[in-house]
Structure 1
Amino acid sequence: MKLGPWEKREDHTLPSTNQITAFLTSCIHCLQAWNVKRGSESMRYTFNSKQSYRRRASRSKFRMSMFHCADADARTCSPFRHEQWRALTVIFRPQKVCLCPFLPVHPLNVSTCLYIVQHPAEESRVLRTVPLLAACLPSDKCKVFIGRRFSEDRHPELAAVCRSLSTLVLYPGPEANNLEELELDPSLSPYNIIIIDGTWSQAKGMFYGNSLFHLPKQVQLKTNLSSQYIIRTQPTNTCLSTLECAAFALSVVEKNHCIHEVILRPLQALCSFQLQHGAQIHHSKEHLIKNGLYAKPMPKNKRKLNRMERLVNNVKV
């Protein structure tokens, strides 16, 4: 088996020049993608304290560990095989679990623009779905903003989008309209869709903590589809990941169901690969409580207890 230049060799021979060159080239591509993605935001973290140092070191650890595919010699494929990968971190995975065959050869031709508002904690997750979503769409149709609070002064582009009549914010609630039943005005096309990326508690805090997100028309998805992102625990059976929400919303707005199938293909492959290599299926919290499989102790806080009771249709647990 051919070893890379960073691995130990029993015969103590040095790696070839081609191997070293290929390895250094892949490192340069990683750094280039990092600079494109982070931009000026990389200066937000300083080394003034041990806490901020650990915060930056932790993010650096995961920043280049998402996916990577490899060829026989350099153990790396072209980081920019797809043009749409330039907008986000290069996707790194071993060759046996490479996701390239499951991505569209060309970016999907859509008129709707997605604005992903991502919680900072979600950026460090290795198995996040936003990079897969961005790899399926043109770079100008999927834009990611990272942060907890967004103001008009610091994010003028996002503020202008929120004030546009052609913008929809995808977040469930009593005042939200069902996207499937909403009559879209053709004169306002193309539409913009704002999606909050994070855990449900993080998304709730971001939605109610930013007045900009209350300006667009609020919509929600009313679907009986179960999430196919089975390697992470969801609150209920019908809670969907960011990629699944975006795929479903795009198929409704663009009136093309094929979009939903194409975007879900890499997610299905990702979950399948993870299960083949030791991951376990994560049932929703609702499923675990209903079947008496919830291993954690029940919360003593009444508010949290009432929330869990609502997961099982007001049945006391």
Structure 2
Amino acid sequence: MMLPDSCSHPLIFKSDYIFGKSQSRPQKVCLCPFLPVHPLKVSTCLYIIQHPAEESRVLRTVPLLAACLPQEKCKVLIGRRFSEDRYPELAAVCRNSNTLILYPGAEAANLEETALQPSGPSVIIIIDGTWSQAKDIFYKNSLFRLPKQVQLETNISSQYVIRTQPTNRCLSTLECAATALAIMEKNDAIQETILRPLQALCSFQLQHGAQIHHSKEHLLKNGLYDKPMPKNKRKLRRMELLVNNVKI
């Protein structure tokens, strides 16, 4: 049987953009073989709050995440502002005592400790965007300050090596979701399964000319940062904090 020349997975197809137009991945770099044959069975539901700028990025991780999970367990909402009137379902979710938001604020608890507490099926909200975009969404939407804040206290480094991260400990949205689901479901195999297409994506890109991107923290500490230092005092201060291992 002849194989098709390109992948047409309904989720992966939408995730590849070239010059603003969607395009399916060539068959030789198709990610479908690295996706689970059937969506993973999980009791935890994810709400991905995606900044509009992420929607047009090349090589996003959220479509890979959605392709691994049942549709009703991974809901993606795109926007900057989320009012209770416009998003009544989200408002109800945020008011539910079993809902958590993955946000490393000052009040955030360790997700592993939170997961040990007896409760019903949980919902985890994850904000998808750069750190500044996520911070803007969090603080300008009062709904997201209603759920309990949790964070991942882990020393693992991101495997999303084809995109620059702010610090060595920053993870992509897919990696955050994979780690959180493995903790909530008490099943490490979930994390391994969700990370598989990301690992394949990075491998394909590196084989075709992409280079490994070190974190901004790594570049600054090792004198490898080759861009002009910002003149904005706030941005310059953030870079100083990165170099001195201060949580930002």
Is the partner of 2:235 in helix, strand or coil? helix
Amino acid at match of 1:224: N
- Taking a change above 3 Å as real, the CA distance of residues 152 and 278 of structure 1, as seen in their structure-2 partners, is same
1:250 corresponds, among 181, 202, 223, to 181
Is the partner of 1:182 in helix, strand or coil? helix
- Taking a change above 3 Å as real, the CA distance of residues 309 and 95 of structure 1, as seen in their structure-2 partners, is same
Is the partner of 1:89 in helix, strand or coil? helix
Question: 1:185: how far off?
Answer: 3.6
What is residue 290 of structure 1 aligned with on the other side? Answer: 221
2:65 corresponds, among 126, 133, 137, to 133
What is residue 172 of structure 1 aligned with on the other side? Answer: 104
1:31-71 deviations in Å (ceiling 9; x for gaps): xxxxxxxxxxxxxxxxxxxxxxxxxxxxxxxxxxxxxxxx9
Amino acid at match of 2:231: K
1:93 corresponds, among 25, 39, 60, to 25
What is residue 17 of structure 1 aligned with on the other side? Answer: none
Amino acid at match of 2:149: Q
Amino acid at match of 2:58: V
Give unmatched runs, 5+ long, in structure 2: 17-23
What is residue 233 of structure 1 aligned with on the other side? Answer: 164
Question: 1:274: how far off?
Answer: 0.3
Q: Distance in 2 between matches of 1:181 and 1:140?
A: 26
1:195-246 deviations in Å (ceiling 9; x for gaps): 0001111111001110000000000111100000011100000000000000
Q: Contact (CA 8 Å) 1:97, 1:273: kept in 2 or not?
A: yes
Q: Distance in 2 between matches of 1:274 and 1:121?
A: 22
Question: 1:75: how far off?
Answer: 2.7
Question: 1:183: how far off?
Answer: 4.8
2:190 corresponds, among 259, 262, 266, to 259
| Structure of higher RCO (CA pairs closer than 8 Å, 6+ residues apart) | 2
RMSD between aligned alpha carbons?
1.9
Q: Contact (CA 8 Å) 2:15, 2:60: kept in 1 or not?
A: no
Q: Contact (CA 8 Å) 2:54, 2:129: kept in 1 or not?
A: yes
2:79 corresponds, among 138, 141, 147, to 147
Find out whether 1:281 has 2:215 as its counterpart: no
Structure 1 or 2, whichever has the larger Rg, is 1
Question: 1:181: how far off?
Answer: 2.1
Q: Contact (CA 8 Å) 1:79, 1:90: kept in 2 or not?
A: no
Matched pairs, number: 239
| % identical aligned pairs | 77
What is residue 36 of structure 2 aligned with on the other side? Answer: 104
Question: 1:182: how far off?
Answer: 2.0
Amino acid at match of 1:176: A
Amino acid at match of 2:155: N
Q: Choose between structure 1 and 2: higher helix proportion.
A: 1
Question: 1:173: how far off?
Answer: 1.4
Amino acid at match of 1:168: L
Q: Distance in 1 between matches of 2:165 and 2:126?
A: 17
Q: How does 1:291-306 map onto structure 2 within 5 Å? A: 291-306=222-237
Question: 1:309: how far off?
Answer: 1.1
Q: Distance in 2 between matches of 1:226 and 1:137?
A: 23
